[in-house]
Amino acid sequence: MSEEVKVQNLNFSYGKKIILNDINLSFTKGNFYSVIGPNGSGKSTFIKTISKILAPKDKSVFINGMDISTINNKKLAQMMSVIPQDILIEYDFTVFDIVMMGRSAYKRRFEDFNKEDEKIVEKYMKATNTWYLKDKLITELSGGETQRVIAARALTQETDIILLDEPTSHLDIQYQVEFLKIFKDLRMDKVIIAVLHDLNLASIFSDEIILINKGEVVSKGTPWQVISKENIRDVYNLSVEVFENPISKCPYIIPRVE
């Protein structure tokens, strides 16, 4: 399995405040990776640096050996798609048109979309349970519906790398599970990297978990290697019990409330 994304000596600061400190990680196709950690730990900044939204000082993010800073934005959009944490769309486009925008990475200037693009849009709107919304205006949707539409748009880019920044934050539990399952099922020929708050969801869906605290990687590995009483206590300052989920066989945490 070839290396797809490599993060090497990644550092990022806002002025004198260090956000990320010397992070070294590799991500390969066929895996769903979760990035977890408390608020302010640097999770979202990490996603933004590897998606080129934020630029670290040194060359430290590589896709197939290519420095991401040398890849133009259109080419990068053919390699990597991003589902952001905060979504604000104020223009009255239909949902279908919003999702179709994901195909723009493959079009020349002023080139129209074609029937093949429409088939791809329909495929991923059905996969994200948004096809029934296709004629609605994006401004008429709930937060959860909008999140699924943005996911459909990202999927229409048909990239090998998908980044998710707290993608389930506006979803009810039913849609959280459905949403993450979509990407879990896609992982065999893609790199999926998701920032997640819910540790039990991260445990269920992840092949590997990266635990970040104060801008540094504290632990990385399988859910059983990372989700431990000691790690949760040290990073989240929370006492928990860890059990085996009887269905998924992954770790399941319960806070100790006394």
What's the pLDDT tens digit per position in 120-149? 999 999 988 899 999 999 989 887 788 889
Q: What is the pLDDT of residue 253?
A: 95
**Pick from 200, 159, 174: nearest CA to 36:** 200
Instruction: Identify the CA nearest to 54 among candidates 63, 62, 45.
Output: 45
Residues 138 and 95: beta-carbon distance below 8 Å = yes
Per-residue pLDDT at 71: 93
Percent with pLDDT over 90 in the chain: 67
CA–CA separation, 118 and 179 (whole Å): 22
- Residue 40, CA distances (Å) to 16, 36, 71, 176, 237 in order: 16, 11, 29, 23, 14
pLDDT in tens, 9-54: 999 998 889 999 999 999 999 999 999 999 989 999 999 999 999 9
Q: Classify residue 186 by burial, with Cβ atoms within 10 Å: 0-12, 13-18, 19+.
A: middle
What confidence score (pLDDT) does residue 1 get? Answer: 43
DSSP per-residue codes, 188-208: GGSEEEEE-S-HHHHHHH-SE
- What was the pLDDT predicted at 48? 92
Degrees to nearest 5, angle at CA 212 with 185 and 6: 60
Which domains are assigned to the chain?
A: 3-255 (3.40.50.300)
Q: Quote the pLDDT of residue 2.
A: 56
pTM over 0.85: yes
Q: What span, in angstroms and rounded, lies between the C-alpha atoms of 219 and 97? A: 42
Q: What is the pLDDT of residue 256?
A: 87
In the chain, alpha helices (H): 43-50, 73-79, 95-100, 115-127, 143-156, 173-186, 199-205, 223-226, 229-236
Per-residue pLDDT of the chain (258 residues; tens, 9 = 90+): 456 999 999 999 988 899 999 999 999 999 999 999 999 899 999 999 999 999 887 889 999 999 999 999 999 999 999 988 767 677 889 999 999 999 999 988 888 899 999 999 999 999 888 999 999 999 898 877 888 898 899 999 999 999 999 887 777 888 788 888 888 888 888 999 999 999 999 999 999 999 999 999 999 999 999 999 999 999 999 999 999 999 989 999 999 887
Closest CA to 156 of 105, 89, 112, 87: 105
User: How many residues are there in the chain?
Assistant: 258
**Both tokens of residue 177?**
């599970």
